[in-house]
């Protein structure tokens, strides 16, 4: 219902959308991959197919990732090709090219318009391919994989660009990057890098232009197209065809010219370009060092093919030469007069620069190029239609340019994220920025939330509970890069320096003057506690969310001296930057197979939601809510979702503390029995200590926080709404706190007696969010009852995707033979079959003591490190909640301490029964990597751990509380994500993966 209203609101806004809708009409949506069963398996397990494609599309802010259909023989490929409208065919070739080339001929005979790519498995197989084979005419292009999984996105975009370039240049003046390279091996590596560089540059500009999230995808369509030529003649033909739109040419030096290899072909092409486009930026790339001097002599840039910093050098070239960086006003002699970093500075400098500089840039179409790079195609096209002679004098041209810029500014007036100004601070729904650059994954989610809130309304409840976002300030990634660059921290931080030394160096290094002044202005308009949160480029991604990996600092902001408050805020920012290089983060990057040197960090500063109660500051309700419930009970369905609610700051929830759980659509349904609610009720909560005016932030994230007994909240106005009393005489829960007895946090007066439409609003937000993102989602929220408007508010703090990666493995627990299994459960997350694991680590149940969980965590970490050094994954079994903040609820490990686990099991013991880790950062990071996450309840009829069997085995190693078992034959792990069922069998039916790898065999 609410989603339909949201769609209507967006449709109204989009009625006057510009030319971007007409761009990129051709999209690759269906791919036929023809490969042997083994090659397909290798690709899939290396993450090169669906997961890689979806992950790259999400990371690059792309939509509509294509679907891949596999065929394992020429016969099935022909049948499949005829039965479905494929947009691209990829033929994988090992050592034999005869069969794939014959198949290419047959497919082209059926549908000649469908592009066919021949993909060699590696350099060895490529060496066996004769480039003069006549059958190669049936393949539109040859690439080589070499295990480089990002190549698939590069190939897809190469095909799309080739098909769209004619219409997009005519319709939208879209620019063209021409790459000239004849080495299959090199352009197979180079194209994905070049594409990623272009996308990052476009994303940076879009962030600088402060567009709403929903408009960015449209702007992406106006990115430059990348075309590939492999000979001099092909390059000249493409250049002359698209000359008015060429943004740059990137060329090798040695390639075919006139039918033979020419060692100077690249320089001949450069001479040809200079005849008609003397000012066009050209980049020469070569592995021959002497080519550098010649390139510079001819006025071109140069990059060595063997450069270790290829992507960074390309980004520098794009910024400094192609309009993606600042606009540099120059005099007729080339002297730099001034530079504009953004539209505001550009407009200001247009009023000041001399007339001869205006004429110089106008003659060379620099103004339209700069606007085009920023996606202002409509206005750039207007400029390109004018010539210097169309104006009576330079002043008339100056006035015309200023009018164009004014039109640009007014066309983007809706939904922008402006630069911070104190005049913006009258509304908590405001978002602004203090530094340019991408706002990172978390920032993008917040901007998207604001966009949703701006366009949706809940008329039935708006006078009872508003939906808002906190007052938010972004510091874009440009400041992060400048901070490391200007303080000489790049090599030490990314090179693996000792973490405590990194923190000391970071906290001693200054932020930029502009950011410091912006922070000083910020502190003049807010005296509320502030949350300083990371927003890495990779955070909240679709496949690997990086949840809770970096630090978040909550500072009291209560010191009477403004300079002290400024220092604390700066320290929190610097330490958040440093947390990118923590052992925890490095371990996560290693496990996720991402490179830490590709990560950049933005900062999100938010006013903390809550109310002051004496020396404490906290919200009466906070938590997480998911649109998908992995373990529904009673008549609930997975799509009914799940909400976790707690008293105090949300850190208690995301770090695994006890919460109250309910289904937003059925808030009156009791999910767990009353005695369990009483036993597992939240006993403590987290608040900001306002009296701790000078927190020692170097001591950690909790420096400004206090963990309190819930008795501290007794007597506050909101406590009767969130607490009930357990009547010891009648053995029942009584809503409120008027009776005597233990207090139980079950939010009964809100959920059972409708004091607030809390559950209804959460349900509506989840519906809108999940439908908008197209996948199940999780939100983090906080509720404040005392608002200046007089109306309580639910604040949305974060939105991120829930991981769903379903493979078809069926597990029927009713048919499971207990004697054949180590364990089985009907409360499992994970998918697939794995027959590669030979190691099990478990906490000995008979000697388990909740007071010893800190020691157990250290023992687990030692065993984990030992197994990782041996390259062995393992199954981890233990009581209670893994990764919890509260050591009395389970084992308080970090992800780094269990990063080698293939399956993690939370097994109840008699007298120690704890709800699972759903909604915590630890839970998200475990499940995002398809690490199996199993819960074995004590009272389940079908779930069990075969403790007798485990204890009967001879230990490989024993610690004070744990046992490590090693099996001669691999175990068999079966995970059915559709039914939340799983089993671990004592022996595998057949070994389908290397026991020393982490490959997963899925059937």
Q: What is the pLDDT of residues 79-103, one digit of tens each?
A: 999 998 999 999 998 778 899 999 9
Is residue 223 within 8 A of residue 211, CB to CB? The reply is no
280/747 Cα distance (integer angstroms): 66
pLDDT for residue 834: 86
Q: Per-residue pLDDT for 299 more than 70?
A: yes
Q: Does domain 616-801 have CATH number 3.30.565.10?
A: no
What tokens does 939 get? Answer: 């009272």
Hey, where are the domains in the chain?
A: 22-148, 173-325, 327-411, 422-456+467-608, 616-801, 813-985
Backbone angles phi and psi of 249, in degrees to 5: -120, 130
pLDDT for residue 153: 83
pLDDT for residue 545: 56
Helix and strand counts by DSSP (H, E) for the chain: 33, 44
CA distances from 664 to 464, 601, 670, 734 (A): 17, 34, 12, 22
pLDDT for residue 542: 54
Name the strand (E) or helix (H) holding 191. helix 184-208
Q: What is the pLDDT of residues 344-383, one digit of tens each?
A: 788 889 889 999 998 888 887 788 778 767 766 667 767 7
Over range 793-809, report the average pLDDT.
76
Closest to 764 in 3D by CA, of 377, 991, 462, 324 = 462
| Of the options 3.30.450.20, 3.30.70.330, 3.40.50.2300, 3.30.1330.10, the CATH number for the domain spanning 22-148 | 3.40.50.2300
Over range 246-258, report the average pLDDT.
93
pLDDT for residue 826: 87
pLDDT for residue 52: 58
Q: What is the pLDDT of residues 678-698, one digit of tens each?
A: 877 899 999 999 999 999 999
Rg (CA), the chain: 30
Is residue 716 within 8 A of residue 613, CB to CB? The reply is yes
Q: Per-residue pLDDT for 469 more than 50?
A: yes
Q: What is the pLDDT of residues 962-1001, one digit of tens each?
A: 999 999 999 999 988 777 889 999 987 644 444 333 333 3
What tokens does 546 get? Answer: 């990086």
Closest to 447 in 3D by CA, of 422, 469, 478, 423 = 469
**Measured over all CA atoms, what is the biggest interatomic distance in the chain, rounded to whole angstroms?**
99
Backbone angles phi and psi of 936, in degrees to 5: -120, 95
pLDDT for residue 152: 85
795/609 Cα distance (integer angstroms): 7
More confident residue, 784 or 452: 784
Backbone angles phi and psi of 248, in degrees to 5: -165, 160
| Of the options 3.30.1490.20, 3.90.1150.10, 3.40.50.720, 3.40.630.10, the CATH number for the domain spanning 422-456+467-608 | 3.30.1490.20
Closest to 876 in 3D by CA, of 1002, 973, 948 = 973
pLDDT band for position 590 (cuts 50, 70, 90)? confident
Q: What is the pTM of this model?
A: 0.56
Least confident of 274-283, 381-390, 557-566, 746-755: 381-390
- Percent of the chain at pLDDT > 70 equals 85
Backbone angles phi and psi of 88, in degrees to 5: -155, 140
Q: Please, is 247 exposed, middle or buried when counting C-beta atoms within 10 Å of its C-beta (0-12, 13-18, 19+)?
A: buried
What tokens does 205 get? Answer: 């500009």
Is residue 530 within 8 A of residue 493, CB to CB? The reply is no
pLDDT for residue 831: 75
Q: Per-residue pLDDT for 306 more than 90?
A: no
What tokens does 796 get? Answer: 């949305």
Over range 145-156, report the average pLDDT.
81
Fill in the DSSP letter of residue 723. E
Sign of the dihedral defined by the CA atoms of residues 825, 830, 834, 836, in that order: negative
Closest to 846 in 3D by CA, of 770, 751, 910 = 910
Over range 892-920, report the average pLDDT.
81
Q: Per-residue pLDDT for 861 more than 60?
A: yes
pLDDT band for position 569 (cuts 50, 70, 90)? very high
Q: What is the pLDDT of residues 393-434, one digit of tens each?
A: 889 988 888 888 766 654 554 445 777 876 556 555 788 889
Query: If you average pLDDT over each of 15-24, 111-120, 299-308, which comes out highest?
Result: 111-120
DSSP annotation string for 768-804: HHHHHHTS-EEEEEEEES--TTSS-EEEEEEEEEPP-
Q: What is the average pLDDT value for the chain, to the nearest integer?
A: 84
Contacts 24+ apart (CB under 8 A), 79-84: 80/32, 81/32, 81/107, 81/110, 81/111, 82/110, 84/30, 84/32
Q: Per-residue pLDDT for 924 more than 70?
A: no
Q: Per-residue pLDDT for 797 more than 80?
A: yes
What tokens does 864 get? Answer: 């984990």
Can you say whether residue 311 is alpha, beta or left, with left for phi > 0 and alpha for psi between -120 and 50 degrees?
A: alpha
Is residue 121 within 8 A of residue 94, CB to CB? The reply is yes
Closest to 502 in 3D by CA, of 511, 493, 514, 494 = 493
Over range 271-282, report the average pLDDT.
88
612/29 Cα distance (integer angstroms): 53
Is residue 17 within 8 A of residue 412, CB to CB? The reply is no
Closest to 924 in 3D by CA, of 832, 804, 833, 762 = 804
Close Cβ partners of 142 (under 8 Å, ≥ 6 residues apart): 117, 118, 119, 120, 126, 129, 136, 184
pLDDT for residue 122: 83
pLDDT for residue 147: 72
439/602 Cα distance (integer angstroms): 5
pLDDT band for position 201 (cuts 50, 70, 90)? confident
705/529 Cα distance (integer angstroms): 11
Task: Give the HSE-up count for residue 248: Cα atoms under 13 Å, Cβ half-sphere.
Answer: 22
Same fold, 22-148 and 173-325: yes
Fill in the DSSP letter of residue 954. P
Question: CATH for 173-325?
Answer: 3.40.50.2300
pLDDT band for position 105 (cuts 50, 70, 90)? very high
pLDDT band for position 46 (cuts 50, 70, 90)? very low
806/541 Cα distance (integer angstroms): 18
What tokens does 125 get? Answer: 């197989």
pLDDT for residue 138: 94
Q: Which residues face 877 on adjacent strands?
A: 842, 905
pLDDT for residue 918: 58
pLDDT for residue 214: 46
What tokens does 742 get? Answer: 């233990």
Backbone angles phi and psi of 933, in degrees to 5: -125, 105
Is residue 192 within 8 A of residue 151, CB to CB? The reply is yes
């Amino acid at each position: 219902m609410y989603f339909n209203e949201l769609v209507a609101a967006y449709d109204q806004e989009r009625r006057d959308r510009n030319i971007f809708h007409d761009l990129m009409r051709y999209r690759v949506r269906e791919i036929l991959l023809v490969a042997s069963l083994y090659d397909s398996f290798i690709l899939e397990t290396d993450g090169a197919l669906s997961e890689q494609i979806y992950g790259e599309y999400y990371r690059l802010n792309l939509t509509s990732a294509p679907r891949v259909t596999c065929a394992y023989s020429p016969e099935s490929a022909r049948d499949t090709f005829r039965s479905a409208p494929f947009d691209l065919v990829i033929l994988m070739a090992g050592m034999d090219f005869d069969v794939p080339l014959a198949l290419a001929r047959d497919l082209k005979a059926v549908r000649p318009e469908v592009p066919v790519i021949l993909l060699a498995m590696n350099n060895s197989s490529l060496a066996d391919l004769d480039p003069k084979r006549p059958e190669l005419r049936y393949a539109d292009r040859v690439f080589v994989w070499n295990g480089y999984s990002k190549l698939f996105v590069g190939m897809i975009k190469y095909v799309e660009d080739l098909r769209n370039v004619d219409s997009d240049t005519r319709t939208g003046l879209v620019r063209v990057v021409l790459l000239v390279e004849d080495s299959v091996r090199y352009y197979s590596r180079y194209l994905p890098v070049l594409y990623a560089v272009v996308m990052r540059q476009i994303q940076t500009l879009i962030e600088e232009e402060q567009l709403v999230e929903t408009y960015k995808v449209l702007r992406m369509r106006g990115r430059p197209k990348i075309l590939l030529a492999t000979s001099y003649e092909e390059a000249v033909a493409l250049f002359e065809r698209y000359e008015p739109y060429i943004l740059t040419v990137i060329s090798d030096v040695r390639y075919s010219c006139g039918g033979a290899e020419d060692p100077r072909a690249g320089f001949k092409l450069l001479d040809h370009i200079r005849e008609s486009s003397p000012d066009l930026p050209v980049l020469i790339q070569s592995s021959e060092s002497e080519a550098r001097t010649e390139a510079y002599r001819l006025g071109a840039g140069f990059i060595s093919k063997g450069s270790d910093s290829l992507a960074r050098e390309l980004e520098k070239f794009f910024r400094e030469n192609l309009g993606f960086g600042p606009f540099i006003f120059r005099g007729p002699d080339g002297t730099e007069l001034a530079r504009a970093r953004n539209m505001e500075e550009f407009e200001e400098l247009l009023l000041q620069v001399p007339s001869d500089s205006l004429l110089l840039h106008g003659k060379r179409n620099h103004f339209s190029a700069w606007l085009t790079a920023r996606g202002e195609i409509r206005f750039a096209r207007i400029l390109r239609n004018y010539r210097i002679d169309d104006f009576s004098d330079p002043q008339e041209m100056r006035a015309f340019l200023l009018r164009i810029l004014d039109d640009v500014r007014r066309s983007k007036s809706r939904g922008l994220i402006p630069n911070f100004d104190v005049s913006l601070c009258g509304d908590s729904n405001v978002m602004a920025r203090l530094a340019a650059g991408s706002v990172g994954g978390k920032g993008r989610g917040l901007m998207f939330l604001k966009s949703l809130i701006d366009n949706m309304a809940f008329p039935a409840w708006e006078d009872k509970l508003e939906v808002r976002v906190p007052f938010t300030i972004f510091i874009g990634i440009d400041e992060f890069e400048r901070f490391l660059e200007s303080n000489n921290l790049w090599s030490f931080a990314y090179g693996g320096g000792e973490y405590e030394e990194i923190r000391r160096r970071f906290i001693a290094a200054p932020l930029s003057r502009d950011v410091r002044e912006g922070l000083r202005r910020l502190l003049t308009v807010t005296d509320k506690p502030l949350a300083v949160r990371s927003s890495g480029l990779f955070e909240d991604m679709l496949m690997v969310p990086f949840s809770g990996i970096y630090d978040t600092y909550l500072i009291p902001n209560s010191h009477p001296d403004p300079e002290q408050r400024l220092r604390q805020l700066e320290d929190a920012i610097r330490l958040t930057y440093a947390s990118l290089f923590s052992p925890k983060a490095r371990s996560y990057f290693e496990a996720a197979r991402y490179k830490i040197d590709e990560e950049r960090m933005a900062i999100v500063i938010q006013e903390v939601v809550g109310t002051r109660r004496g020396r404490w500051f906290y919200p009466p309700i906070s938590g997480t809510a998911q649109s998908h419930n992995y373990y529904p009970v009673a008549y609930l369905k997975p799509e009914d979702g799940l909400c976790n609610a707690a008293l105090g700051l949300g850190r208690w929830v995301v770090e695994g503390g006890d919460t109250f759980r309910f289904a937003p659509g059925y808030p009156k349904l009791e999910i767990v029995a009353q005695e369990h609610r009483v036993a597992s009720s939240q006993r403590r909560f987290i608040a900001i200590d306002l009296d701790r005016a000078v927190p020692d932030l170097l001591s950690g994230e909790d420096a400004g926080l206090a963990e309190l007994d819930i008795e501290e909240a007794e007597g506050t106005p909101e406590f009767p709404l969130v607490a009930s009393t357990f009547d010891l005489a009648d053995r029942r829960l009584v809503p409120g706190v008027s009776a005597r007895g233990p207090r139980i946090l079950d939010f009964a007066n809100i959920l059972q007696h409708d004091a607030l439409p809390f559950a209804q609003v959460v349900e509506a937000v989840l519906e809108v969010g999940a439908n908008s993102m197209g996948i199940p989602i999780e939100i983090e929220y906080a509720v404040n009852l005392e608002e200046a408007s007089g109306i309580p508010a639910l604040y949305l703090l974060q939105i991120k995707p829930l991981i769903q990666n379903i493979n078809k493995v069926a597990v029927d627990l009713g048919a499971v033979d207990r004697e054949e299994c180590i364990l089985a459960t009907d409360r499992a997350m994970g998918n697939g079959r794995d027959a590669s694991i030979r190691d099990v680590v478990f906490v000995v149940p008979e000697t388990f003591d909740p007071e010893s969980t800190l020691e157990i965590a250290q023992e687990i970490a030692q065993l984990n490190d030992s197994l990782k050094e041996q390259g062995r994954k393992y199954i981890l079994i233990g009581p209670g909640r893994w990764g919890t903040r509260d050591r009395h609820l389970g084992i308080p490990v970090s992800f780094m301490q269990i990063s080698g686990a293939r399956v993690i099991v939370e097994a109840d013991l008699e007298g120690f029964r704890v709800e699972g880790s759903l909604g915590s950062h630890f839970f998200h990071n475990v499940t995002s990597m398809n690490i199996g996450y199993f819960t074995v309840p004590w009272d389940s009829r079908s779930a069990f751990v075969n403790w007798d069997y485990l204890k009967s085995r001879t230990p490989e190693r024993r610690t004070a509380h744990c046992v490590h078992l090693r099996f001669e034959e691999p175990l068999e792990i079966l995970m059915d994500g559709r039914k939340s069922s799983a089993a671990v069998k004592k022996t595998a039916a057949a070994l389908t993966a290397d026991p020393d790898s982490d490959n997963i065999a899925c059937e």
